[in-house]
Amino acid sequence: MPDHALSATSADWSAGDSHAHPALELDGLTKRFGDRVAFESVTLRVDRGEVFGLLGPNGAGKTTLVRTCATLVRPSEGRARVLGIDLEASNGPEIRRRIAVMPEAPGLYGNLSVVENLRLFARLYGVHDVDRAIREALDAVDLSSRRDDACRALSKGLRQRVAIARTLLGQPELIFLDEPTSGLDPVAARDVLELIASLRAQGRTVLITTHRLDEAERVCDRVAILRQRLLAVGKPGELGLGSQRSLVVRVGGAAEDAKAHLAPVVEAAHVVVTDEHTLRIDGAEPDELAPVVAEALVHAGDRLLELASPRERLEEVYLELVGGETKESDR
C-alpha cells in the first residue's frame, strides 16, 4: 500500500491564506456515536481540482465522514480544515457557504419544475443573481431544455442531474456527492460520471462516496478505501500494490504444472504459485502477457479458468482490505 499517501502529518498543518490550502485536510479525525465508531483516526488530504473517491462497503463511515466535513456532524476527536478553514462550530457558516453537499437522497420537490426547485434552493442558499446561477447550473448539467418539466416527470438519472445542478448554485469550491450513481441504470450512471468528469474540467474539487470500484477507477484521480479506518489511499492504478504489472492465472489443474508449461514463455523467477490452482506472474504488461500465457496453457492442455487483469486485481485488493462482506455489526 502506498502509505506515503497517508502521511498528511501534523507538520503540514500550517496557517495562512485559506485559498492556498488543499480542499480538505483531515488529521486523526474520529467520529463515534456512543460506543459505535463511525470512522476513526482518518488522516487525509484532498487537493484542489481533484475528483477524490471515498470507497467502502455499507456502514464504512463514508456518509458520516462527509457530513462531518460539511459541518453537519461534530467530530469526536482530531482536527480538520475544509478549504483552509478550521473545522469548528464557529466556522460552520463560512465553510457551508463555500461547499455543497448532495446527499444520497436528492430531496427535490416532485410537483415543482426543475427551475422552480432550483429557484427555491438558490434563495435558501442566499444566491445573489438567482437567474444567472440557475442558467449556469442547468448548462453545466445539460438540462436547460427540461427546465420547465416537473421533477416527478423526470427519470431518476435526470433527477440526479438536477440534484447536481443544485449543488452548483452557490459556486462551491468543494462539492461532496454522496453515492451519486446509487440506484441508476448503467447508462444514467455513466452520464453522471461524465458530468463529474466535466466538473473537474471546470476546475472544481469533487469528493464522491461510492462502493463501486469500477466507478471510482473511471472518474477519480485518487481514491481512499475506508472501513472505519483508512485502509489505503492512492491513484486507482496504484492501489493494487503494483499489481498493474502482474497477472493472476487460475487453472483447473495443479498450479505447479501450469508453471512448468509456462517456462518457454515466462521466466520462472517471475512466476509465483499463490495456491494449488493459482499463479501470479509479476513484472510484465498484463495486456501483452495475457494472450501469450493463454496460448501456452491451452497448448499444454491446461484448463484455464481465469486470467485476471489489473482492474480485477484492484477489486481483489479492495475485497481483501474491507474483508469482503459487511458485518452485521457495522450496519
Residue 234 near ligand ATP by CB under 6 A: no
Rounded to 5 degrees, what are φ and ψ at 208? Answer: -110, 145
Residue 30 near ligand ATP by CB under 6 A: no
Short-list 263, 272, 268, CA closest to 300? 263
Identify which range of 31-39, 77-85, 124-132, 229-237 contacts ligand ATP by CB under 6 A: 31-39
Instruction: Measure the CA–CA gap between 270 and 285, rounded to whole angstroms.
Output: 12
Site residues for ligand ATP, 33-62, by CB under 6 A, read 33, 36, 38, 56, 58-62
Out of 23, 27, 55, 63, the only residue in the binding site for ligand ATP (CB under 6 A) is 63
Residue 111 near ligand ATP by CB under 6 A: no
Per-residue contact string for residues 209-228; x = within reach of ligand ATP by CB under 6 A: --x-----------------
Q: How many CB atoms lie within 10 A of CB 50?
A: 20
Are the CB atoms for 45 and 34 separated by under 8 Å?
A: no
Site residues for ligand ATP, 258-297, by CB under 6 A, read none
Instruction: Measure the CA–CA gap between 249 and 220, rounded to whole angstroms.
Output: 28
Q: Which is nearer to ligand ATP, 56 or 286 (CB)?
A: 56
Residue 181 near ligand ATP by CB under 6 A: no
Q: Which is nearer to ligand ATP, 39 or 121 (CB)?
A: 39
Q: Which is nearer to ligand ATP, 56 or 180 (CB)?
A: 56
Short-list 100, 85, 80, CA closest to 30? 80
Instruction: Measure the CA–CA gap between 313 and 241, rounded to whole angstroms.
Output: 9
Are the CB atoms for 277 and 250 separated by under 8 Å?
A: yes
Q: Which residues pair with 281 in a beta bridge?
A: 247, 271
- Site of interaction with ligand ATP (CB under 6 A): 33, 36, 38, 56, 58-64, 211, 330-331
